[in-house]
Chain A
Amino acid sequence: MAQLAAVVGVGQTKYKTKRKDVSIAGMVREAAVNALEDAGLTWNDIDAVIIGKAPDMFEGVIMPELYLTDALGCNGKPMLRVHTAGSVGGSTAIVAASYVQSGVFKRILTVSYEKQSESNAMWALSNPQPFSPHLNAGAGGYFAPIIREYMRRSNAPYDAGIKVAVKDRLHGAKNPLAHLQLPEITMKEVEDSPMLWEPLRFLEACPSSDGACAMIIANEELATKSPRKPAWIRGTAMRSEPTMYAGREQVSPQAGIDCAKDVYAQAGIHNPRKDLDCAEVYVPFSWYEPMWLENLGFAEKGKGWELTMDGSTSLIEGGDIPWNCSGGVLSSNPIGASGMIRFAEAAQQVRGEAGGHQVDGAKTALGHAYGGGAQFFSMWVVSSEKA
């Protein structure tokens, strides 16, 4: 039986295009120190470090955990490095939680990061794979046809994506750490921005960010003694499926459906829209909000866009199930950290620590991440209540 574990500290950096003022180690350490301060702890209180990031080619450092051990106070301790594509930030949090839920460790530090300005993610994502056709598409080019298929099937209005782009940036303007600060953004401005990959416009795509996110996860005894409110981990789940196979449902992948069912069952969630107070979901391109609303069971098939359009997912419009109050991936995207930011922001909401983008009285929240060709999923549910 899994032991209870909780997030007792969260630390993030400010997200921006280039962190020229710090090295990779300095940036990662900044997030870790912020998490330690939030938890009222020091390096000596940490039993192990679990680190995650997207492909090593994003910075050109192979297995960077080797180099980062000194900056993360890990000498003499266990260090593990997770890599599950774009879902890695979420997967890393789940692996980190298992260090404590297994009863093997009492309190651990987990960190995810990307310093995209050190290299070129578009290049690293698109270099040819041996023995495989070369797509040279980047992420947006890969997902655009899948989005077009969603639009065709659902008859969604053409501006549902535009609405998400505006909504998440208005959320982001309430989060001082968010990379894009666009408090004046309008539907027209998004619509007028250059078309990158039909139907995705420039302002419907995530930015490229530098940044790191860290969490301290502790066992029940230590979490109870923590100075600030813990976010109890009520369920964790991961699922994977291949990039391509005959008959693959790419608009609403089975791995995402299965993963959500699994994590809801663990957390006692029967109706996600009703039982959850908010969600931080990996939406790197605007249209993925309505698509994931359906995949994750918040809306019926073909109806996800209705929740987007009627403001149900907007904190500012007083929606009943706000999505991505932090601004989401559309406002900050240090790729390897983006999943962990979702998980950490979900924790901040139920701890009551989300500041200007806090959902009043949030008790239970979902953190979600996906990666690869929408084939790797990781999710957790956190709550202010133990059970």
Chain B
Amino acid sequence: MRDVAIVAFAQSNCQRDAGAQNEVELIMPVLTEVFKQTGIKSAQDVDFTCSGSCDYQQGAAFAFVAGVDALGAVPPIKESHVEMDAAWALYEAWLKIQMGHAESALLYGFGKSSPGELPIVLSQQLDPYYLAPLWVDTIAFAAMQARTMLDSGEITEADMAEVVARSRNNALANPHAQLKGDQTAADLLKEATYVSPLRLHDCCPISDGACAMIICTIEKAEEWGKPYAIIKGIDHRIETHHIGSRDLSRSVSTEIAGEAVGVKNGKVDVAELYAPFSHQEIILKKALGLGDDTVINPSGGVLAGNVMMASGLSRIGEVAMRIIRGEITRGVAHATSGPCLQQNLVTVLEAK
């Protein structure tokens, strides 16, 4: 595999309700920002564009078509779209660069979840014959997962509260975060349960927003004369949809992906993990074999703001920007999709 450089990343603020702003208005500022960082003018200046979004968030087919309007795709561009988190759009573009069909690519993800009731909307991503008719929402599934872990004694409610407290504290330094604060775990534990055993703060917030990234070959990054972070490995895996067939305290697909990209082959300074529920950060940390010397979710993670369909790419962008700013030399980023961490993507990023 050839190394691929991340040269630019931008994200909007995570906001609970973007109001009358449409998708184009959410996307354009982050596109403008990554063009500026790279020193290019438009989507025509890269070889390939790929995005991630989900129609059901806005409640109408073809959400991504609006995205093409934001690109100013005149003259026409080489463009594709995944109905997945934009982290998988990055994967598609990474393959294009590997095969030599592109030297550079623009990626973006966007989501406007505010028009609907996201947890119940997402119940319709379940098996349509046996599970979807039950309308089991994402929070109920996550609560069940947390319950199995608490019952087995693997974690305590205090462990979960520690994750949230750290996330909110870290988010104080993140201007894009939606939820931040200096509560302690003890403070958080005093709050009532929401969907037992989860408290409201154990669940990620619902956010509107977008993010964008530009990647390219190392040669192109040098030509542009921009600092960059290097994608040393990227892999994604999925596992069974049947919750009853899984050990919910593990994320087997994350383990496989982490192994494939060699997470353990060096010190991990920072890991940004897409853990929409507090206990899932503990599962992911274990699955990737991360030790206590790794700083997890310095941005606050998605517990501080979760733009569905963009959050995975933002995790990668968060790590990349820390490398570009010279704060760290090696980091891991993770993205997820599906109930109880069914599908996962892992990247290892390094400084040059």
- Residues of chain A at the chain B interface (Cβ within 8 Å): 1-3, 23-24, 55-70, 74-85, 91, 95, 98-99, 101-104, 118, 124-125, 127-131, 236-243, 245, 253-255, 258-259, 372, 375-376
Contacts and interface: CB of A to CB of B under 8 A. Distances in A.
What are the 3 A-B residue pairs with the smallest beta carbon separation, nearest first? Answer: A102-B98, A55-B61, A255-B76
A90 to B, nearest CB: 11
Contact of A242 (B22, B74, B239, B342): B74
A242 B99 contact: no
Contact of B60 (A24, A66, A128, A236): A128
Given A83-B83, A103-B98, A258-B76, 12 more contacts: A56-B83, A60-B128, A66-B241, A76-B237, A76-B239, A79-B238, A81-B88, A82-B80, A82-B83, A95-B80, A101-B99, A375-B65
B272 to A, nearest CB: 21
Interface stretch (B51-59, B144-152, B180-188): B51-59
Interface in B21-73: 22, 49, 54-56, 58-62, 64-66, 68-69, 71-73
26 contacts: A55-B61, A56-B55, A56-B61, A75-B238, A75-B239, A75-B240, A77-B238, A82-B80, A82-B92, A83-B64, A104-B1, A104-B95, A104-B98, A127-B59, A127-B61, A131-B22, A236-B101, A238-B80, A239-B78, A240-B68, A240-B76, A240-B79, A241-B74, A241-B76, A242-B72, A242-B74
B101 A66 contact: no
Contacts of B247: none
B77 interface: yes
A75 B337 CA distance: 14
Contacts of B339: 66
B250 to A, nearest CB: 13
A183 to B, nearest CB: 35
A287 B126 CA distance: 40
B155 interface: no
Interface string B217-261: 000000000000000000111111110000000001100100000
A85 B100 CA distance: 26
Most A CB within 10 A of own CB, among B54, B64, B256: B64
B60 A242 contact: no
A332 to B, nearest CB: 21
B54 A102 contact: no
A111 to B, nearest CB: 14
A66 B131 CA distance: 12
A95 B54 contact: no
Contact of B115 (A3, A103, A128, A130): A130
A3 B122 contact: no
A297 to B, nearest CB: 16
Contacts of A128: 60
Contacts of B95: 95, 98-99, 102, 104
Contact of A238 (B58, B65, B79): B79
A25 to B, nearest CB: 8
Interface in B111-126: 115, 121-122, 124-126
A368 B55 CA distance: 25
A66 B71 CA distance: 29
B160 interface: no
Given A76-B256, A81-B82, A241-B74, A3 B61 contact: no
Contact of B83 (A63, A69, A238, A255): A63
Of B82, B126, B132, B235, most A-chain CB atoms within 10 Å: B82
B81 interface: yes
B343 interface: yes
B92 A66 contact: no
B76 A83 contact: no
Given A66-B337, A66-B343, A70-B240, A127 B54 contact: no
B100 A2 contact: yes
Nearest to A85: B62
B43 to A, nearest CB: 10
Contact of A80 (B55, B82, B96): B82
